[in-house]
Amino acid sequence: MKAKQVFQDMSPYTPGKQIEEVKKEYGLTKIIKLASNENPFGYSNKVKEEIPKMIDHLEIYPDGYAAALRKSLAHKLNVGEKQLIFGCGSDEVVDIICRTYLEKGTNTIMATPSFPQYKHNALIQGAEIVEIPLVNGYHNLPEMLKAVNEQTKVVWLCSPNNPTGSLINKDTLVSFLEKCPSNVMVVLDEAYYEYIETSNDPNSINLLGKYKNLVILRTFSKAYGLANLRVGYGVASEEIATYLNITRGPFNTTSISQMSALTALKDETFLQNTYQENLVNKKAFMSACDKMNLNYYDSEANFLFVQLPTTGDELFEYLLTKGFIVRSGEALGHPNGVRITIGSKEQMDELQSYMRQFLASHKGE
Residue 364 has pLDDT above 60, yes or no: no
- Report the percentage of the chain scoring pLDDT > 70: 97
pLDDT in tens, 230-258: 999 999 999 999 999 999 999 999 999 99
- Say what the pLDDT of residue 216 is: 98
Give the model's pLDDT for residue 213: 98
Length of the chain: 365
Instruction: Report d(CA 279, CA 301) in Å as an integer.
Output: 9
CA neighbor of 17 nearest in space, from 40, 36, 44, 42:
36
Helix (H, G, I), strand (E, B) or coil at 254: coil
Global pTM? 0.94
- DSSP H/E element including 110: strand 107-112
Q: What percentage of the chain has pLDDT greater than the value 90?
A: 87
Each residue's pLDDT tens digit, 76-130:
999 999 999 999 999 999 999 999 999 999 999 999 999 999 999 999 999 999 9
What are the extents of the domains in the chain? 5-43+269-363, 49-266
Q: Which superfamily is assigned to 5-43+269-363 in CATH?
A: Aspartate Aminotransferase, domain 1 (3.90.1150.10)
Residue 114 CB neighbours (<10 A) = 24
Asked if the peptide bond before residue 113 counts as cis, ω within 30 degrees of 0, the response is yes
| Range 288-313 average pLDDT | 96
Write down the CATH number for the domain with range 49-266: 3.40.640.10
Q: Give 130-137's long-range contacts (Cβ < 8 A, gap of 24+).
A: 134/161, 134/164, 134/166, 136/166, 136/297, 137/161, 137/164, 137/165, 137/166, 137/297, 137/298, 137/305
